[in-house]
């Protein structure tokens, strides 16, 4: 048993559920593009949160995939946003005329993905779609519908499978809610 799991008050999505959903999503995405006679996409992964999801998802996609990352910061170590999303590192690939699939870990208020979507759309991709692992619909401040969604979850701060608290827990194989007493330990700066 992984001792980090004991830091969770409860598990929302198990490792098995992630595995089967990712496989299904990969097939769904592949079919979506193949039906439109598109056999190559450019995946833009929002780091760090979507690294683990992207790695698993893209290996289930049966299309040619070019890949790049965009790094954004919108949270410090607290469990709520403290700044507006800031782009720290931009993509290097030229996406003009490409079929872009933006991948993120969680759609929360919608601020991050809206910001990145308008930025990428300005570079004239041939098509633009998005895929998020988790969707917290109840938290939306800026309207946004992702084209592909892994799981709809309630409004709770979650960690695991790429999602962090103070940069920890990204390597948890499942997704869950941290015990309240672990949500602001003073030594985690």
Range in contact with ligand IMP (rule: CB under 6 A) among 29-37, 51-59, 91-99, 156-164:
156-164
d(CA 53, CA 104): 8
Range in contact with Mg ion (rule: CB under 5 A) among 11-19, 44-52, 56-64, 88-96:
44-52
Nearer to ligand IMP, 46 or 95 (CB): 46
Regarding 135 and contact with ligand IMP (CB under 6 A), the answer is: no
Give the residues across from 138 on adjacent strands: none
Q: Which does 135 bind (CB under 5 to 8 A by kind): Mg ion, ligand IMP, none?
A: none
Regarding 43 and contact with ligand IMP (CB under 6 A), the answer is: no
Known active-site residue 108: yes
Regarding 44 and contact with ligand IMP (CB under 6 A), the answer is: no
Map residue 153 onto helix, strand or coil.
coil
Residues near 100 by beta carbon (within 8 Å), at least 6 away in sequence:
41, 42, 43, 44, 120, 125, 127, 128, 129
- Using CB under 6 A as the binding rule, the residues of this chain from 157 to 176 that contact ligand IMP are 157-159, 163-164
Range in contact with Mg ion (rule: CB under 5 A) among 49-57, 89-97, 148-156, 178-186:
49-57
Yes or no: say if 128 and 100 are a contact pair by the CB < 8 Å rule: yes
d(CA 78, CA 184): 7
Q: Nearest to residue 106, comparing CAs of 37, 58, 178, 154?
A: 154
Which positions from 65 to 94 touch ligand IMP by CB under 6 A, shown as an x/- string? ---------xx-----x---x---------
d(CA 59, CA 63): 10
Please pick, among 7, 104, 105, 108, the residue that the annotation labels catalytic.
108
* Residue 147, token pair as written in the block: 């084209």
* Residue 113, token pair as written in the block: 């993905």
Residues near 7 by beta carbon (within 8 Å), at least 6 away in sequence:
169, 178, 179, 182
Q: Which does 74 bind (CB under 5 to 8 A by kind): ligand IMP, Mg ion, none?
A: ligand IMP
Catalytic residues: 108
What residues make contact with ligand IMP under the rule CB under 6 A?
A: 46, 49, 74-75, 81, 85, 104-113, 157-159, 163-164
What residues make contact with Mg ion under the rule CB under 5 A?
A: 49
């Amino acid at each position: 048993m992984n001792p980090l799991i004991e830091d969770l008050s409860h598990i929302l999505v198990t490792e098995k559920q992630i595995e089967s959903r990712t496989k299904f999503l990969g097939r769904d995405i592949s079919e979506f593009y193949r039906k439109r006679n598109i056999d190559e996409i450019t995946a833009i992964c929002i780091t760090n949160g979507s690294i683990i999801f992207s790695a698993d998802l893209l290996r289930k996609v049966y299309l040619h995939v070019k890949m790049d990352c965009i790094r954004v910061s919108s949270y410090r170590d607290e469990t709520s946003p403290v700044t507006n999303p800031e782009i720290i590192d931009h993509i290097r690939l030229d996406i003009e005329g490409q079929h872009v699939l933006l991948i993120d870990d969680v759609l929360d208020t919608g601020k991050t993905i809206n910001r990145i979507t308008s930025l990428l759309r300005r570079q004239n991709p041939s098509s633009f779609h998005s895929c998020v692992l988790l969707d917290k619909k109840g938290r939306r401040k800026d309207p946004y519908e992702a084209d592909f969604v892994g799981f709809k979850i309630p409004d709770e701060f979650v960690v695991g499978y790429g999602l962090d608290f103070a940069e920890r827990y990204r390597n948890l194989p499942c997704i869950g809610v941290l015990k309240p007493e672990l949500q602001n330990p003073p030594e985690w700066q």
